[in-house]
């Protein structure tokens, strides 16, 4: 490689890195080359239709949607030693929504641009052509119908005659790749990319909040998709928190007067945090259950679990506390006997039963705790030889002092020590020999 070619290649790669972001240009590490992602500027209200040639994707046969962005055209290139003086770049051109025929036409035009600029760097003119002229060059207008071969990418790279016909294959350029496996995969890719690019564009634009009347970036705002209104997150967070604390979970709509757009659960969660969102989710579920004619609640005040009512059934059984009750009067199930209006004594009886059950639960819990305490004491203490009280050794020497009878004793052999000189026992090396 000549010094001039090497310098021209390095200068061109550095220029591309300075012009395009890391999302658009990736320089190769091993050899002079890289990858360019070219996103086209679509006309407003651009509509796409996806059509599959196979039965496997029949669910997408009628897919139609308006998009602001389509997945990029990907230009992979490698600069040979003779570039730009004598040799053009080696490249492939891939795209998910352009057919191999359309990509072949683009590859041929890139070759023509090289011939027109032979001896000069050509990557930037290539990128400009792809970005600004692709739609006009291929006569692409809205609505744009995308045809996907039944076997996706492999159908034309491995068996071109089967997909396009034996006479068509010679006209296809091997550098042209329709990088998609199926119509359903293409639909997912188009929708995901369009949503991601819309969010990226929204995050970088300034918006005026009509609550605080301050201008903030979209990344600090929330966008109601149905009505297109935008408010800053700080104002909307305070508004939603008040509504949720007041139990008005169906009032989490756009603050614009007379606007009926509703915030999505994901937007609410991002704004108010886990704790308040749990309350919002619980109240929303409860209000939905209240509207269902076949759902009743366990009448026990300590339970209140939703219970599905059997069709034409008279009895409800709580799945949590197993309480069987009449779905009409909420009293204990009474079989064929007619419902009666609960008296004050009935209510008191039900409350007493619940109180007894709660007391029994606490009694069992206390008994279990006492059992665990006894086991712990047995494993971690020794009885005082004077009064038999359990003594725990936390640290220090083996001279123990009972807090109850005030006697001293040896932790090792449990011998009671004298008050006058309790340490005399430990000066005798044979004192604990038998312990």
For residues 179 and 299, membership in a common domain is answered with no
For residues 33 and 110, membership in a common domain is answered with yes
For residues 324 and 433, membership in a common domain is answered with no
> 339, 374, 408 — which closes off a domain?
339
> pLDDT at position 331, please?
82
> pLDDT at position 61, please?
56
Q: What is the pTM of this model?
A: 0.58
Residue pair 149/51 in contact by the 8 Å Cβ criterion: no
Check 227, 254, 397, 402 and give the catalytic one.
397
Q: 291-297, long-range: CB within 8 Å, 24+ apart, which pairs?
A: 296/327
> pLDDT at position 342, please?
61
> pLDDT at position 155, please?
38
For residues 139 and 80, membership in a common domain is answered with yes
Q: Is 227 helix (H, G, I), strand (E, B) or coil?
A: coil
Question: Has 397 been annotated as catalytic?
Answer: yes
For residues 333 and 276, membership in a common domain is answered with no
Half-sphere exposure of 419 (CA within 13 A, CB side): 4
269-285 b/e with 16+ CB inside 10 Å = b? Answer: bebbeeebbeebeeebe
> pLDDT at position 53, please?
62
**What length does the chain have?**
435
Number of domains in the chain: 4
Does residue 171 sit within a domain? Answer: yes
d(CA 420, CA 15): 94
Tell me which residue has tokens 């010679």. 170
For residues 269 and 179, membership in a common domain is answered with no
For residues 157 and 24, membership in a common domain is answered with yes
For residues 253 and 138, membership in a common domain is answered with no
We report the CATH number of the domain holding residue 269 as 3.30.40.10
d(CA 389, CA 430): 27
pLDDT in tens, 388-415: 888 887 777 888 888 888 888 888 888 8
For residues 144 and 219, membership in a common domain is answered with no
We report the CATH number of the domain holding residue 326 as 2.20.25
353, two tokens: 């039963």
Q: Which residues of the chain have pLDDT under 70?
A: 1, 53-62, 149-170, 288-293, 311, 341-361, 368, 433-435
Q: Residue 430: which domain range?
A: 382-435
């Amino acid at each position: 490689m000549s010094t001039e070619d090497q310098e021209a290649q390095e200068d061109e790669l550095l220029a591309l890195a300075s012009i395009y972001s890391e999302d658009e240009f990736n320089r190769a590490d091993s050899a002079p080359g890289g990858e360019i992602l070219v996103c086209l500027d679509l006309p407003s209200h651009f509509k796409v239709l996806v059509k599959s040639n196979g039965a496997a994707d029949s669910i997408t046969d009628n897919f139609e949607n308006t998009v602001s962005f389509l997945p990029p055209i990907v230009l992979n290139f490698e600069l040979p030693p003779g570039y730009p003086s004598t040799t053009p770049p080696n490249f492939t051109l891939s795209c998910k929504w352009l057919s191999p025929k359309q990509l072949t036409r683009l590859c041929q035009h890139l070759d023509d641009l090289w011939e027109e600029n032979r001896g000069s760097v050509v990557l930037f003119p290539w990128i400009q052509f792809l970005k600004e002229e692709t739609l006009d060059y291929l006569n692409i207008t809205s609505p744009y119908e995308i045809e996907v071969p039944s076997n996706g990418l492999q159908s034309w790279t491995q068996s071109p005659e089967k997909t396009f016909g034996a006479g068509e294959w010679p006209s296809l350029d091997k550098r042209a790749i329709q990088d998609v496996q199926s119509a359903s995969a293409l639909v997912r890719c188009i929708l995901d990319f369009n949503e991601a690019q819309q969010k990226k564009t929204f995050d970088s634009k300034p918006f005026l909040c009509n609550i605080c009347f301050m201008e903030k970036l979209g990344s600090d705002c929330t966008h109601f998709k149905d009505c297109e209104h935008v408010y800053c997150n700080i104002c909307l967070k305070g508004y939603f928190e008040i509504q949720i604390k007041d139990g008005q979970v169906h009032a989490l709509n756009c603050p614009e007067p007379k606007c009926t757009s509703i915030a999505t659960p994901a937007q609410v969660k991002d704004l108010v945090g886990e704790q308040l969102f749990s309350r919002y989710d619980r109240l929303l579920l409860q209000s939905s259950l209240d509207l269902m004619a076949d759902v009743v609640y366990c009448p026990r005040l300590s339970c209140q679990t939703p219970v599905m009512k059997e069709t034409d059934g008279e009895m409800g059984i709580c799945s949590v506390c197993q309480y069987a009750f009449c779905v009409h009067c909420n009293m204990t199930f009474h079989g064929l006997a007619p419902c009666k209006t609960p008296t004050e004594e009935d209510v008191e009886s039900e409350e007493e039963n619940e109180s007894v059950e709660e007391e029994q639960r606490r009694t069992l819990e206390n008994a279990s705790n006492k059992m665990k305490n006894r086991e712990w004491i047995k494993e971690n203490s020794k009885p005082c030889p004077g009064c038999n009280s359990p003594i725990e050794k936390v640290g220090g020497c083996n001279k123990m002092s009972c807090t109850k009878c005030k006697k001293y004793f040896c932790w090792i052999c449990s011998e009671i020590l004298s008050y006058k000189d309790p340490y005399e026992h430990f000066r005798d090396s044979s004192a604990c020999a038998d312990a």
